[in-house]
Each structure stands twice: as structure tokens, then as C-alpha cells.
Amino acid sequence: MTLIAVAHGTRAPEGPVVLAALLDRVRELLPGVDVQVAYVDVIGPTLADVLASVPAGSRAVVVPMFLASGYHVRVDVPSAVAADGGRAVVTPALGPDPAIVAAVEDRLRSASVELPDAVVLAAAGSSDPSALAEVSVAASLLSSALSRPVLPAFVTTASPSVPDAVTSLRGAGHPTVGVASYLLAPGLFQQRLTTSGADIVAPPIGPHPLVARLIADRYRAAVAVTP
């Protein structure tokens, strides 16, 4: 079965490069599996295009490479699969799985010799309350892992904004504030984090081995229950 990893898409040229590196790790974990990438916005190939390329009579596993189950995961991806005739099975999104949170923690720790006193978990943002709740779950998991307060915040759409969250934590008396990036790849949203006023800004999750393993695990689990 083909594995189709579907992402949002970005105009930043480094974004697809990072995702390609991530999927190369997935291919190492799934030898012999046809692993392809698709996008729901901004750039191609679209999920519909990739689904159409799957040979007749074959099936696919679609893994949404999203860190929360917002509109794209709930509506766009299932709609594309249905329009193709339902030949694919769709797995849960990647977040807020503990493996993703562990990768975020690793990136934050790599950004500085010492951890900040408090952390903002910076996510893309969504108008979907359930997606925002998932980011809050990830923030809670990260707080437990770091033994520090972690405040969820958003680059766009939702509130608080990342700069407001940084200001809030400083006002609460935390001498140093860091931003943990809850973003999969570099792009405009990651660039905005650098102007948030934080002392430390972690890089995006990128091609982290834990993320590659999670995508492979999502694929294996789907294959195991697909007739």
C-alpha cells in the first residue's frame, strides 16, 4: 500500500526540502513502501493528484502531517479521499502524540545550554476549538516533561498570540522565556517566532527521528486493520 504523507504547504523553499528529508527517514523505516508527499494548500502536488496516481485496484494510507486536527484534517483530507472513491484509509494526525512533544522538547533543549524559566508552545493556530484544545494538551505534556510552565500560543487566527504569551510569562515573574516551535517545517510562521521577544526560539521539529517513526507507526497500524 502506498503511504501518502499530506502536509499544509508553504511558499518557503526550505519547507518542502525539510519534509523530503523527513520522508527519506520514513522510507528507511518502511523499505519497499512507496512513500509520497501531498499538500492541501499553497503548493502541489495536491492530495487529489497523488491519490489519482495510485494504480487502479490498489489502496493507500494517508497520514496527515498536522499537529492538530483542524479543518484540513477533518474536512479537506477526507473529502479528497471520498472524491477518489474511498480507496485510501486516513490515519489520525500526528499531534498531540507524546512522540511529537518529545521531539519539540528535544529541539528546545538543543537551542540553549540552559532551559528557560518558562516556555511558550507556539502553534500555527486554528479557528477549530478542538484543534486548539489539542495544542493545550501538547503544552501540558511539554510542561510535565520540562518541569516548567508552558503556555500555548498561536502565530495566527487564535489567541493568545506568541508575543502576548511571552509578555504574559515575563509579567508573571519568569526571568527567561523561551519559545518551543510546534511547527513541522520552516517558513513564514517560524520566521515570525524570531520577533516574539523571547530569549530563546527553538527551531521547528523538522526531520526528527521520532516524527519519522510516528509516521511509520501510523502506516503500519492502518495496514494491519485494512482488508
Q: Is the pLDDT of residue 227 over 80?
A: no
pLDDT, tens digit, 9 for 90 and up, residues 76-107? 999 999 999 999 999 999 999 999 999 999 99
Q: Is the pLDDT of residue 133 over 90?
A: yes
Beta bridge partners of 178: 119, 200
Whole-model pTM: value is 0.94
pLDDT, tens digit, 9 for 90 and up, residues 7-34? 988 888 898 999 999 999 999 999 999 9
Segment 106-128 shows an average pLDDT of: 95
State in words which class domain 98-201 has.
alpha beta
Segment 185-212 shows an average pLDDT of: 95
CATH no. for 2-95+207-224? 3.40.50.1400
Extended strands (E) in 135-176: 150-154
Q: Which three cell numbers stand for residue 151?
A: 503556555
One fold for 2-95+207-224 and 98-201:
yes
Nearest-angstrom CA–CA distance, 67 and 96: 6
Amino acid 1 reads: M
Q: For the chain, what is the mean pLDDT? A: 95
Domain boundaries, the chain: 2-95+207-224, 98-201
CA atoms within 13 A on the CB side of 16: 14
The answer to whether 108 and 202 have CB atoms below 8 angstroms apart is: yes
What is the per-residue pLDDT for 226? Answer: 80
